[in-house]
Amino acid sequence: MKTRLGKRLTALFEAIPPGYDAVWDLCCDHGRLGLGLLETQRTPQVHFVDQIPSIMADLQDRLKRYGAKGYQLHTLPAEQLNLPNQGTQLLVLAGVGDEVAQAIITGVTQRNPTIQPDWLISPANKVFQVRRYLHQQGFGVLDEGVVFENGRGYEWLRVSQNRERAINPISNPAPFWNAQVPEHRAHLQKLIKHARKQLNNPKEQDARFMLELYEPLLENH
């Protein structure tokens, strides 16, 4: 692979099993994940989506220079995507905050009510809220994990609303936390410290709920 992905994007790349007919790199920015997918032919069709025209113009130039094949560019807010009603599709949504992530998942789901694509979701922050939202929307888990890069932890979840395939419910917190692993412990301590600071902030009503669920993860260790 020519495109260098770094640890976080490599983990997301590896979380995409071969076999999808199309993968959508939503909020793609530099498009590195999608470029990696094209170069390795992990999927026959890559859709790049970002709402910033200058980003997409740069990406288009790069793809032309590479002579890449099997891709399409979509310059629009990802909320407005219309998905084709054929083939297996995975929508990757990474590197955006919890509110943008939820708005995009809601928008795409409402615009495409007859399609149940798989999603690979790795929010930049507030995974507690995203997990709760996915649970409320009836998603189930196909696979999940966490990757650490430059001292920060990034959870990822591959999920679907097709509960015949994604039979495991979304848990909150994730099932993989192990406070005996130093990276896990440091990450959980950071989340908990932040939530404790938010306890008196009326705009952060979730802090108390989150602490009730996350603080026990550090106990007994």
Ligand X SMILES: C[S@@+](CC[C@H](N)C(=O)[O-])C[C@H]1O[C@@H](n2cnc3c(N)ncnc32)[C@H](O)[C@@H]1O
Which residue number, 103 or 213, has a Cβ lying nearer to ligand X? 103
Shortest gap between Cβ of 51 and ligand X (angstroms)? Answer: 4
- Return the residue nearest ligand X (CB atom): 95
From 56, 59, 78, 91, residue interacting with ligand X (rule: CB under 6 A) = 78
Residue keyed to tokens 């770094």: 6
Rg (CA), the chain: 18
Give the shortest CB-6-to-ligand X separation in angstroms: 9
Q: Is 121 or 217 the residue whose CB approaches ligand X more closely?
A: 121
Q: Which amino acid is at 4?
A: R
Number of residues in contact with ligand X under rule CB under 6 A: 16
Nearer to ligand X, 100 or 192 (CB): 100
**Closest CB 16 distance from ligand X, rounded Å:** 13
- In whole angstroms, the minimum distance from the beta carbon of 75 to ligand X comes to 9
Query: How does DSSP assign the chain, residue by residue?
Result: --S--HHHHHHHHHTS-TT-SEEEEET-TT-HHHHHHHHHTSSS-EEEEES-HHHHHHHHHHHHHHT--SEEEEES-GGG----SSS-EEEEEESS-HHHHHHHHHHHHHH-TT---EEEEE-SS-HHHHHHHHHHTT-EEEEEEEEEETTEEEEEEEEES-TTT--EEPPSS-TT--TTSHHHHHHHHHHHHHHHHHTT-TT-THHHHHHHHHGGGGTT-
Q: Which is nearer to ligand X, 15 or 49 (CB)?
A: 49
Residue among 15 and 28 whose Cβ is closer to ligand X: 28
- Whether residue 153 contacts residue 183, with contact meaning beta carbons closer than 8 Å, is answered with yes
| Cis peptide bond upstream of 17, omega within 30 | no
Minimum distance between the CB of residue 49 and ligand X, rounded to whole angstroms? 6
Contacts to ligand X from residues 15-74, by CB under 6 A? 27-29, 49-52, 55
Cβ 103 to ligand X, closest distance in Å? Answer: 7
Restricted to residues 90-149, the positions that interact with ligand X (CB under 6 A) are 94-96, 100, 104
Q: Can you tell me which of 44, 77, 145, 173 binds ligand X, judged by CB under 6 A?
A: 77
Nearer to ligand X, 95 or 117 (CB): 95
Interface ranges with ligand X (CB under 6 A): 27-29, 49-52, 55, 77-79, 94-96, 100, 104
